[in-house]
Amino acid sequence: MIERLVNKLFSSLRTFGFLFGYLPFSLPKLNKIKSLKNEISVEEYDQLIHEVPQKWAGGILKRTKSEFTVEGLENLPQGAVLFISNHEGNFDIPTLLTHIPKPFGFISKIEVKKIPLISKWMEEMNCVFLDRSNRKSSYRSIQDTVSQLQQGHSILMFPEGTRSKGQGIGTFKSGFMRIAKEANVPIVPIAIHGTSNIMEKNNNKICPAHVQISILPSYSKEMIQENDSKQTMEDLHTVISNKIIELQSRHK
């Protein structure tokens, strides 16, 4: 019992130590990439910016001693897409950054913008910051996300709006449908299972887990424009929910 607690503590210290210790050494790389911004294409710039956060996220996951499996990479289309995923825990974003080769930004709480270095990388990754206490900020974040997609940058959203901590999948908020429709981009649904076993289910201590990621077939921009938005949202919720049930059954 004591040995397990000590191992959990050291795993947590090792993971969070790397999380904050890696970033100061990444600043020269960030400045170098930024100097190329006007010389290369949007796709090339996003790929360069994606490399360091991907390595950083991968380093964090490695220190949790977790196992990861991913399927459906063939479902990734060319060009900007809106990724939507269920939201199990705090390790969802590192997991998706590491295992999805297509660069993307994501929507984050405004509080994260106050964290030095992390916010600098997030801004270059085309992340959008949301102040949930401010309705004007919510509207502005929708427009900012549409703008990023129209400029050719992919974005990840969690339509549940909060972590489920492994307790099923919550109701989807409708904002992502409006964004996809206005930006005229495909939606790529993702089902993720097991990230809450790394931290949320262990009183926020880090433990090894088996995480499964499934990238599902995309919904084309034509489907999104032509079909009823409410029905499409329900269909996407069902597709992700059914896949999570399938992933859970595989790991019993």
Looking at residue 199, its amino acid is M
Domain that holds residue 158: 2-250
Under the banding of pLDDT at 50, 70 and 90, the label for residue 19 is low
Are the C-beta atoms of 207 and 197 separated by less than 8 Å? yes
> How many structural domains comprise the chain?
1
3-state secondary structure 34-58: HCCCCCCCHHHHHHHHHHHHHHHHH
Residue with tokens 């492994």, as numbered in its chain: 166
Question: The domain that contains 12 carries what CATH number?
Answer: 3.40.1130
Mean pLDDT taken over the chain: 87
Tokens of 68: 């990861």
Q: Whole-model pTM?
A: 0.88
Tens digit of pLDDT for each residue in 106-133? 988 888 888 777 888 888 999 998 877 7
> If we measure between CA atoms, which residue out of 29, 85, 84 comes closest to residue 56?
29
**pLDDT tens digit sequence for 51-75:** 988 988 998 899 899 999 999 999 9
